[in-house]
Amino acid sequence: MIYDEYGWSGGIDMGHESVLLLKVSGFSVQLFLNPTEMDDKIDTAEKKVLVDIVKLAQRKGMKGTMGDWKEFLNSHDKKFGAGMSDPSKRSHEDLAAFLKTFSKDDDLKFFGNIMRHHSNQYTLERLKDRSHDSPEQMLAAQRLVQVTLQHPRYPRDYSLPSIDEDKMPSKKWL
């Protein structure tokens, strides 16, 4: 593999017709999305995810090619401008248009991390919901535990001997 002076190498994903950039730092390899891939993710993200990204970008003082959030609103929305700057009150299209003005690798990585966090949270919530949805599954699991504990070989195979203070454990248990 060939690296340029900045430590970048390129790889082509022919299935998606996009270029993935790899930056090698020490032993780890970090994947950065190119702007086109991030644009696709932004277009398909839920509004609450975009609102969160814009709010965090505001807190960090991040600026895209059209400036920060308020500067973007002044140039993008002639009707309201920055007068209505709360991201949660803006449309999905406005939020997406602002986020698409970013192209720096660090910015894209930051956005990707926030999207991954939201995805992980969503998955965790779904798993929690599934565990509470089915009492039949919980009863089946409890029955399995009871049957296992009542099996005649369970105490012999899985119980550890008690250790009295005046007895030393045998070599068998060490």
CA 164 to chain centre: 50
List of residues 6+ apart from 89 with CB closer than 8 A: none
- As a whole number of angstroms, the distance between CA 13 and CA 152 comes to 57
> 3 and 38: one domain?
no
Q: Residue 40 carries which side chain, given as an amino acid letter?
A: D
Residue 70: inside a domain: yes
What are 31-54's pLDDT values in tens digits? 445 667 888 899 999 999 999 999
What are 94-103's pLDDT values in tens digits? 999 999 999 9
Residue whose tokens read 């999905």? 92
Rounded average pLDDT over 142-161: 79
Residue 90: inside a domain: yes
Residue 150: inside a domain: no
> 27 and 38: one domain?
no
Which residue range is the domain that position 58 belongs to?
Answer: 34-131
pLDDT > 90? residue 146: no
pLDDT > 60? residue 138: yes
List of residues 6+ apart from 54 with CB closer than 8 A: 69, 87, 95, 98, 99
pLDDT at 87: 95
> 44 and 111: one domain?
yes
Residue 41: inside a domain: yes
